[in-house]
Amino acid sequence: MADHKDQHQQQQPHGSKREEEEVITTFSPTIFSPKSFPRRRRIKYCGIVIALVLLQIVVLGVLCLTVFRFRDPNVKLAAISVENFSPALGTSTAINMTLRAEIKVKNQNWGKLKYDESVLVVSHEGSTVGEGTIPKGSIKMRHSKQVSVSVEAKLDGISSSSSDISSGVLNLKSYAKLSGKVSMVGLVKKRRSGEMNCSLTISLARQAIQDFHCQ
């Protein structure tokens, strides 16, 4: 009788342990299985995720069209000076000089601007008399940069009786177009360009810039 009780006591723990293992085996995979979620709940969660993604796309689109709208760089002539002025006066006038221009480029975008190499053209009465290279570069968002450009200008065969020479001044035009790509939030890129169109008046007596203005 005692042996029967001992056997019963020895078998009891083993049975309890087996039942616990069966419970864990039965319920654990079910808890972590996708099948444990009802179909409607899975559809609901997928719908929420898709709605959030679409909302982010819409918000980004609105920002790109308003606050983050792509804008052209602002290009203007900040300063200009005359060096090595050498006129040869007579029935016709030949003038050689070096123009030192400071061009200010403002990036008005909420993204980095990378602009290409460009040319500053100086003309007199519609004819090109000199060109200077604007090297390529980049400007951080909402920042400005000043670029120095040197132009060797040569004017030959100007009549000394022309209206500007006879009045003691030389009227020139300067033009530049700066083009580049704006990278917005590291995802969207768009090409933008800005132009500079200025008039220069040089005093022949002082051999210096008398006035300049830009459109």
Tens of pLDDT, residue by residue over 109-120, are 988 999 999 999
Is-contact 201 80, C-beta < 8 A? no
CA distance 52 to 175: 49
Does pLDDT of 10 surpass 90?
no
**CATH for 74-214 (3.20.20, 1.10.3470, 2.60.120, 2.60.40):** 2.60.40
Give the chain's mean pLDDT: 83
Predicted confidence band of residue 93 (pLDDT cuts 50, 70, 90) = confident
Predicted confidence band of residue 158 (pLDDT cuts 50, 70, 90) = confident
Does pLDDT of 163 surpass 90?
no
Q: What is the pTM of this model?
A: 0.70
Pairing of strands 137-139, 111-115: antiparallel
Is-contact 65 89, C-beta < 8 A? no
64-71 average pLDDT score:
76
121-131 average pLDDT score:
95
What pLDDT, on a 0 to 100 scale, did the predictor assign at position 189? Answer: 87
Does pLDDT of 39 surpass 70?
yes
What pLDDT, on a 0 to 100 scale, did the predictor assign at position 73? Answer: 97
- Name the β-bridge partners of 113: 139, 182
CA distance 31 to 27: 6
Is-contact 196 171, C-beta < 8 A? no
122-130 average pLDDT score:
94
